[in-house]
């Protein structure tokens, strides 16, 4: 299954000099025409993107010693804790942190791109590092060719007058950590310049693929993506193809993008149904939500005539991260002189709770081989 490429030559105007964010550079390297195709389309944020933005803020607050927001559930709190622990692992003893750092990549007097680096680090030995948090479930591959991170590296090199930058991507949901030492700033700048020039060419190329189409807003009108979908559908019904490992891999990679697009189609259909009550013969069927017992103490008291404390506790679950938070607060409050940091209090609480913690069975997901 080949990549679909489509040339656009007529009826289009070069897109001028609007700022291209670092987050788009990887997409545009693979599909220069994506910039023009998405021009003027409204930005529609998904629930996952909203959560990711809020979690980025919570990590920044935690690293700055600020109180966490009260909106997070236990899983989200644990994700933040993993990020904070990873930051200290990368930084080491005596490191200084700068959260949500504005970075600019200049080409002489012209700004090529600018964005926000999640975390910039100046280590005690004078070396420079940065970390980008990713809260999704898709493993990041080829970090050395990640131009978003390369742009952040240039910004950090400029900020700290460094000749290189140790850049990390950390994905706490899937326990995936990768890093790459970016050097040769002139070469990085030249590559970014080339990407931008290709996007602003009068002849733009569309190239459909899993990575570049994953977050593209123009998939619904893109001829290259349509060709890719037709190719996938034409092959998907042939059971004999599933016996060939190489074909299965190609179908899997193509199918990931199509699956996401089909999910967007389903969301759009639900929206039409909510507006009118039905759409094309389809309606929404609601199911009752999961049952919860928010007032555990009240429930235990009401059932005390029938269940002993031990019997009741067998039916209850304890949140490991919630227990660590509560215990850390007590440890910090009772520390001599009141000078214990929140990080140290959580470390001590974690040590006390860890012997009683048991992890659930691991789950298996498909990921790129490192």
pLDDT in tens, 216-228: 888 888 888 888 7
Neighbouring CB atoms inside 10 A of 44's CB total: 9
DSSP structure string for 218-266: TGGG-HHHHHHHHHHHHHHT-GGGGG-HHHHHHHHHHHHHHHHHHHHHH
For residue 282, give the nearest of 296, 267, 272 by alpha carbon: 272
Read off the pTM. 0.66
Summarize the confidence of residues 253-259 as an average pLDDT. Answer: 73
Residue 15 pLDDT greater than 90, yes or no = no
What does R_g of the chain's alpha carbons equal in angstroms?
25
Task: Give pLDDT tens digits for 34-92.
Answer: 999 998 888 777 888 899 999 999 999 999 999 899 899 888 999 999 999 999 999 99
């Amino acid at each position: 299954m080949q990549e679909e490429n489509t040339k656009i030559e007529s009826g289009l105007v070069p897109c001028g000099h609007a700022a291209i964010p670092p987050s788009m550079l990887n997409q545009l390297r693979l599909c220069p025409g994506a910039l023009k195709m998405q021009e003027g389309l409204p930005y529609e944020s998904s629930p996952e993107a909203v959560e990711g933005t809020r979690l980025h803020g919570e990590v920044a607050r935690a690293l700055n010693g600020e109180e966490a927001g009260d909106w997070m559930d236990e899983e989200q709190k644990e994700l933040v804790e993993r990020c904070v622990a990873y930051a200290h692992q990368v930084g080491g003893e005596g490191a200084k942190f700068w959260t949500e750092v504005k970075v600019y990549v200049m080409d002489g007097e012209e700004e090529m791109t600018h964005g926000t680096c999640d975390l910039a680090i100046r280590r005690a030995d004078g070396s420079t590092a940065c970390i980008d948090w990713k809260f999704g479930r898709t493993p990041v591959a080829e970090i050395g060719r990640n131009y978003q991170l390369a742009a952040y590296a240039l910004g950090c090199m400029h900020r700290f007058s460094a000749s290189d930058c140790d850049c990390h991507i950390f994905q706490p949901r899937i326990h995936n950590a990768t890093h790459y030492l970016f050097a040769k700033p002139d070469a990085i700048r030249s590559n970014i310049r080339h990407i931008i020039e290709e996007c602003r060419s009068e002849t733009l190329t569309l190239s459909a693929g899993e990575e570049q189409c994953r977050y593209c807003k123009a998939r619904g009108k893109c001829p290259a993506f349509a060709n890719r979908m037709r190719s996938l559908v034409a092959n998907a019904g042939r059971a004999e193809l599933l016996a060939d490992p190489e074909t299965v891999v190609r179908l899997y990679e193509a199918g990931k993008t199509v699956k996401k697009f089909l999910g967007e189609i389903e969301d759009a259909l639900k929206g039409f149904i909510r507006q009118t009550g039905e759409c094309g013969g389809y309606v929404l069927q609601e199911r009752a939500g999961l049952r919860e017992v928010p007032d555990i103490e009240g429930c235990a008291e009401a059932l005390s005539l029938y269940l002993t404390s031990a019997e009741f506790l067998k039916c209850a679950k304890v949140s490991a991260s919630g227990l660590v938070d509560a215990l850390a607060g007590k440890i910090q409050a009772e520390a001599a002189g009141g000078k214990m940091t929140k990080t140290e209090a959580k470390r001590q609480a974690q040590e006390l709770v860890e012997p009683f913690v048991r992890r659930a069975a691991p789950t298996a997901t498909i990921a790129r081989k490192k």
